[in-house]
């Protein structure tokens, strides 16, 4: 880059002087405006905590004007955009089907409510490790009832409850997620993540079951915005064995999807 001749005397040029004055004026106005914002934000609070004894020492006219100034600046500060007040503190909800009082489906010593509680705990572990805020219907062996689980859905970015299927035929198998049509894609991703780990097939529409087509009818957890993941058939010995052997790996796969959706 080549400079103009006599560039050391450029400060004498009117265009340079005007540019410098403009830059200085811009910085001054920006600083003044920001100071006014800050002053308008905090002065009413500071004035409110000034002890009455101190205010009594000030001339009466000062107190009146400062009180008036506090009110005006309070209105001024209220006009400032405060997006932090409108941020939604979203979280992920993961719950276990049935409860400590309702074991769900049973196969020998294995109870659905206990198995899905283990899966919920594993998913929660990976969410916690990733720094994701979450809520559950219990920890460890605690598994609260459906009403408690439904209350956790409100405000969540995604809410999932875990169950296991059961059938009279021990050959019945596969993974499915029951959800509303708006959650079809997420349902399919969750089912595939579990099926890939367990080596199971996908039921329904690539793992998605529309609630209206479910034999269970209208489900409260889904009607309130959640999804129900059926982690295979507890009545199928092979799928039950796969669950017990690989549920931690499947839980991690599910957690990764929930993390993606929560962001």
pLDDT value of residue 48: 52
| Cβ atoms of residues 139 and 124 within 8 Å | yes
Last residue of a domain, one of 84, 103, 125: 84
Domain tally for the chain?
2
Q: Is residue 52 part of a domain?
A: yes
| Residue 59, token pair as written in the block | 């001339």
* CA distance to 43, 54, 56, 70, 191, per residue, from 62 (Å): 15, 12, 10, 12, 70
Q: Is residue 10 part of a domain?
A: no
Q: Say yes or no: 111 and 145 in one domain.
A: yes
| Cβ atoms of residues 155 and 134 within 8 Å | no
Per-residue pLDDT tens over the stretch 9-33: 555 555 555 555 655 554 555 454 5
Per-residue pLDDT tens over the stretch 234-256: 999 999 999 999 999 999 999 99
Last residue of a domain, one of 84, 104, 132: 84
| Strand partners of residue 79 | none
Q: Say yes or no: 98 and 215 in one domain.
A: yes
| Residue 75, token pair as written in the block | 């209105």
Q: What is the pLDDT along the chain (263 residues), one digit of tens a residue?
A: 555 556 555 555 555 555 556 555 545 554 545 555 455 455 555 545 456 566 566 665 655 555 555 555 555 555 554 444 344 457 999 999 999 999 999 999 999 999 999 999 999 999 999 999 999 999 999 999 999 999 999 999 999 999 999 999 999 999 999 999 999 999 999 999 999 999 999 999 999 999 877 666 678 999 999 999 999 999 999 999 999 999 999 999 999 999 998 87
Q: Say yes or no: 118 and 243 in one domain.
A: yes
Q: Residue 20 belongs to what domain range? A: 16-84
- Helix extents (H) in the chain: 14-49, 52-57, 60-78, 112-129, 146-151, 184-198, 220-223, 237-262
């Amino acid at each position: 880059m080549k400079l103009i001749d006599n560039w050391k005397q450029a400060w004498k040029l009117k265009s340079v002087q005007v540019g410098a004055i403009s830059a200085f004026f811009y910085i001054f106005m920006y600083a003044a405006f920001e100071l006014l914002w800050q002053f308008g934000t905090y002065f009413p609070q500071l004035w409110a905590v000034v002890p009455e004894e101190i205010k009594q020492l000030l001339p009466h006219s000062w107190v009146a004007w400062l009180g008036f100034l506090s009110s005006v600046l309070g209105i001024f500060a209220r006009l400032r955009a405060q997006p932090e007040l409108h941020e939604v503190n979203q979280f992920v909800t993961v719950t276990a089907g049935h409860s400590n009082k309702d074991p769900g489906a049973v196969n020998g010593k294995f109870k659905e409510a206990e198995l899905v509680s283990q899966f919920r705990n594993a998913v929660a572990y990976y969410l916690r490790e990733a720094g994701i805020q979450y809520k559950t219907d219990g920890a460890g062996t605690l598994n609260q009832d459906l009403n408690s689980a439904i209350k956790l859905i409100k405000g969540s970015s995604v809410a999932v409850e875990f169950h296991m299927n059961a059938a009279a035929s021990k050959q019945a198998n596969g993974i499915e997620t029951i959800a509303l049509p708006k959650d079809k894609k997420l349902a399919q991703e969750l089912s595939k993540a579990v099926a890939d780990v367990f080596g199971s097939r996908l039921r329904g529409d690539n793992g998605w079951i529309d609630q209206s087509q479910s034999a269970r009818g209208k489900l409260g957890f889904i009607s309130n915005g959640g999804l129900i993941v059926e982690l295979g058939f507890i009545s199928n010995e092979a799928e039950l064995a796969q669950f017990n052997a690989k549920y931690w790996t499947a839980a991690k796969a599910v957690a990764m999807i929930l993390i993606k959706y929560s962001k």
